Amino acid sequence: MKKLILLTSVFSLFLANAQIDPVKYPTFTNIDEALKSEKTVYSMSFREKGLFNIPPGISKLKSLFFLNIMGNKLEKMDQEIFELTELEILNVNENSIKYIPDEIGNLKKLNSFSMNLNSLTSVNPNIAKLQNLKAVHLDANNLNVFPEALMNIPALEEINLQGNQISIIADRLDRIKNLKFLNLSENQINDLGNLSFPKNLKYLELQQNAIVKLPENLFKAQNLEFLNISNNHITEISSQIKGLKNIVSMNLANNNLKDIPEEIGQLKKLKTLILTGNSIEKIKIERLKKLMPETQIYF
């Protein structure tokens, strides 16, 4: 299993979605106790139990909406999982799973799916049947293209694909109309073409790739609030940056920038601008400070 330290974003919607009331819905950790319970069982966790397979009796727990099987030794997703058709939250992080079975499409009510730190090389197209899915985390796998099946789930609000090997993104990203959070950091992206972004996008993380130029369409993302494109190979920023009317924080650190267009001064909501690790002359930094007196500039 790939070893990678994942930094949890402070903006993660998934963490908020995954919280359940421990009093109303107590989480069982023993399958025998769960099966003997006189009350309906809604939440089950086998976290770090050293399991090679899911206990087969779990399929009897028809009311389960939360299942955590992270940190085990699973090499596949057992069929019993796909009999739990009431599932809303599924966490299979930190296993050794190589593929997602076709039966994933059975979990119609799933809204949060987390499969970080596994061995996926692709994403089953049947995941597009999960039209209620709002958050998907596939960090630290072996994906080399953006999963196109996700582009057919307009309800998605959060996609996290950090730490894969993605170099190709089809220009249909804007079909995910409700997308607010997108993390593509630590991949192998060098050319975004003129990729179009969903109009509701608020958080975009592209740091630690090999991007040379930002697509002009990015500057049409008027709802974007947080942008991190640090640690790339960007040589210039378009004057169209003025289109990011709602941007609050922008991290451009460790690129190949020598100047910033004065149009950035039109971004009245920008509170933080990070320029460290670029070759911008001090006189140009001073000009920026005068243009943007309300912005904290780090250089």
Please write the tens of the pLDDT for every residue from 3-50.
Answer: 443 433 434 444 444 556 666 789 999 999 999 999 999 999 999 999
Q: What is the model's pLDDT at position 13?
A: 45
Q: What is the model's pLDDT at position 69?
A: 98
Distances (CA, A) of 21 to 16, 25, 42, 173, 266: 12, 6, 11, 34, 45
Q: How far apart are CA 52 and CA 74, in angstroms?
A: 5
Q: What is the model's pLDDT at position 19?
A: 59
> For all residues of the chain together, what is the average pLDDT?
93
Q: What is the model's pLDDT at position 25?
A: 81
The candidate with the shortest Cα–Cα distance to 259, out of 275, 246, 243, 241, is 275
Residue 112, strand partner residues? 89, 135
Q: What is the model's pLDDT at position 163?
A: 98
Is the Cβ–Cβ distance between 161 and 136 less than 8 Å? no
Give me 269's structure tokens: 């909501």
Could you name the CATH architecture of 10-170? Answer: Alpha-Beta Horseshoe (3.80)
SS (H, E, C) the chain: CCCCCCCCCCCCHHHHHCCCCCCCCCEECCHHHHHHCCCCCCEEECCCCCCCCCCHHHHHCCCCCEEECCCCCCCCCCHHHHHCCCCCEEECCCCCCCCCCHHHHHCCCCCEEECCCCCCCCCCHHHHHCCCCCEEECCCCCCCECCHHHHHCCCCCEEECCCCCCCECCCCHHHCCCCCEEECCCCCCCCCCCCCCCCCCCEEECCCCCCCCCCHHHHHCCCCCEEECCCCCCCCCCHHHHHCCCCCEEECCCCCCCCCCHHHHHCCCCCEEECCCCCCCHHHHHHHHHHCCCCEEEC
Q: Where are the domains of the chain?
A: 10-170, 189-299
Q: pLDDT of 57-72, one tens digit each?
A: 999 999 999 999 999 9
| Residue type for position 87 | L
Q: What is the model's pLDDT at position 22?
A: 63
- Please give the share of the chain, as a percent, with pLDDT higher than 70: 92
Q: What is the model's pLDDT at position 154?
A: 95
Q: What is the model's pLDDT at position 23?
A: 64
pTM, entire model: 0.92
Ranges of residues in the chain whose predicted pLDDT is under 50: 1-17
Q: Please give the CATH number for the structural domain made up of 189-299.
A: 3.80.10.10
Q: How far apart are CA 93 and CA 18, in angstroms?
A: 14
